[in-house]
Each structure stands twice: as structure tokens, then as C-alpha cells.
Amino acid sequence: MNLMLPFEPKPIANPLSYNQPITLIGSCFAQHIGQKLVSVKWPSTVNPLGIAFDPLSLCRQVQSAQRLQTPLTETIFNRYELWHSWHHHSSISAYSKEALVSGIEQAQLQLNKGIQQSALLIVTLGTAYVYVHNLQQLEVSNCHKEPAQTFTKKLLSIGEVINSLNELAASAKAINPNIQITVTVSPVKHIRDGIIENTRSKALLLAAAHEWCEQNPIHANYFPAFEWVTEVLRDYRFYEADLAHPNQLAIDMVFDSFVKTYVSNNSQANLKLVQQFKQGLLHKPLFPKTEGYRAFLDSQKQKLNNLKYLLPFLNWEEETAQLNNAYGL
């Protein structure tokens, strides 16, 4: 009996190797996939300008990374003892205006460098709804817990989403002409918008993402993260208690599918070796002075030396220090 629909996305024509960095921007789901890449030591840049959900905000992020301009004064404000930016997530907020501006400028440089060095830019779209500040007539990326009446909610059209992706791609290509762009739609349910509204928003993003990829077959492709969770896993046991966010099991399964779709066979094998070694580092012995534990550490050291040989361009200082600490060195 099959409890899931069979689904294996077709691998891309030119799969990635470990020495080809990836940059990810977008929703909290992009953050989770990015963290999975970091955990297996894949060279990655993950949301340096903070989580963003709508296409206009993501377009602004890449444009700001290209132009490297000081943030506009009208986008910065002070509230609740902190300085915030209407164009950035609260993780960018700071105690002073100077620190906020400096943080934004550093994050722009980080995103610029990430795109410059990456073979792939992953853009994860979360919602087609945008919020406009009523007094300033400013499209915001984050409402920073301001009252709902401060903003007007607007649903983007398919054309507006495609236009945002075109502008985003133009800025990314200005930084790195050779970068490939993968668009995906986050499976996270924006329940606060409403069940019907969330479905409408996701449908619009899906239509726009596919149309844009079809218009740009040379440098764009689509990864079905949304379909994996909603059509294949398709069960609330794969969600957190809020019934909106995919849980760790779902994230792991989508990540496995991403690896099979985007990573070369050789790098897939190396990735498994990294996962096995990193899992071993988490082992906490009850009796560390036994010969058995010493043999385990010797095995871990052999695995690390093998990984240093296979992936010499990666920095293994942290893992070496962890292992030496376990040895008591």
C-alpha cells in the first residue's frame, strides 16, 4: 500500500559540486534549507538581509546588494527602544540608527559577495500579499508589530510578480553574469491572511514562478518545495503544532529531494560522509575513558582526515578542535 504519491523531480542538467557555493534568500523555509546546507558544510550565504516573504521585498534585497547604497532615511524609524527598517526583518534592527545603517550596509556587502561567488541563487517566495504604509505610501517588508490600520494590504498580480523576478534577476546577473536562479514557493501557510487568501496567494505565486521560468529557460528553473509538502507529504504529522510550518521531518525530506535534484552524484556521496562524521561529533559518551570510546575517536579522526582529502577547500578547523577536545588535547 502506497501512503504517498511517488514523486522524483528531474535532476538539473548541470548538477552542483561541493566547491560551488549557493546563496538563498526569502522566507523562513529558505532559512531552514539554508541551515541544512550549512550543517553539511556546503558553502552557503543564507538571508544576510533577513527573512522576506513577498517578491517586491526580495527584489529590493538583490537590488540593494547590487547598488550598495545607504538605506533611505524614510525607511528607518525608532520604536520600542530600537531602530528598525521598513525594508528589513527585525533581526536587522539595532539599538542605534548608526548601528542599524551599518548592519544593513554590511549585510548588503555579504549578499553581494554571496551572489558574486555562487553558482546558484535560490529565491523562495512566501506570499503575494504586500503591505503599504498608509502615511508614507511605502511598500514595507516587515510591519514590525505596528497596528494593522497603519497599512493597506494589497495582492500582487501575476504580472507584478514576474516583473519583480525580472528585476531581481537583472540585478543578480549584474553582480554575477553566470549565476543560475532557482525559484521555489514556500509551503509555509500564511494562516493570518486566511485559509482562502493564503491559497489564492500561493496559486498566484506558483503561476508566476512557472511562467517566469518558462520565459527564462537558460538561467532559471523551479524547485517544487511547495508540492513536496502539500501534495506528497500531505499530512499534518509533517507540520509543527501551529499547523502552518513544516516540521523538521518535512524539511529533511525536502532537503533530500533538493540534493538529489541539484547535487552531482560524487558530491552526494561526499555529503553523506560529512553527515555521518558530523553526527558522530554529537556523540556524548557516558564513560569517556574506555578503550571503546578511544577507538570511536580514532575512527572519527580517520573520517575527518578522509574529508580533508576529499574536500580540501573547506575549513575544518572547528571540527578538528572539537575532536581534539574530545581526545582531551
Q: How does pLDDT run across 118-155, given as a tens digit for each residue? A: 999 999 999 999 999 999 999 999 999 999 999 999 99
Mapped onto helix, strand or coil, the DSSP state of residue 45 is strand
Q: How does pLDDT run across 38-72, given as a tens digit for each residue? A: 999 999 999 999 999 999 999 999 999 999 988 88
Amino acid, res. 173: K
**Distance (Å, rounded) from C-alpha 26 to C-alpha 61?**
10
Q: Is the dihedral of CA 196, 201, 206, 207 positive or negative?
A: positive
0.85 cut: is pTM over it?
A: yes
Instruction: Go through the domains of the chain in sequence order and give each one's CATH number.
Output: 22-263 (3.40.50.1110), 265-329 (no CATH)
The pLDDT, as a whole number, for residue 328 is: 80
The pLDDT, as a whole number, for residue 329 is: 54
The pLDDT, as a whole number, for residue 123 is: 98
CA 153 to chain centre: 25
Q: Do β-strands 129-133 and 138-140 pair in parallel, antiparallel, or remain unpaired? A: antiparallel
59, 164 in Cβ contact below 8 A? yes
The pLDDT, as a whole number, for residue 143 is: 94
**In the numeric block, which cell numbers belong to residue 60?**
529590493
pLDDT under 50 in the chain at which residues?
none
**In the numeric block, which cell numbers belong to residue 82?**
530600537
The number of C-alpha atoms within 13 Å of 170 and in the hemisphere containing its C-beta is: 10
183, 213 in Cβ contact below 8 A? yes
The pLDDT, as a whole number, for residue 73 is: 87
Q: Is 128 exposed, middle or buried (0-12, 13-18, 19+ CB in 10 A)?
A: buried
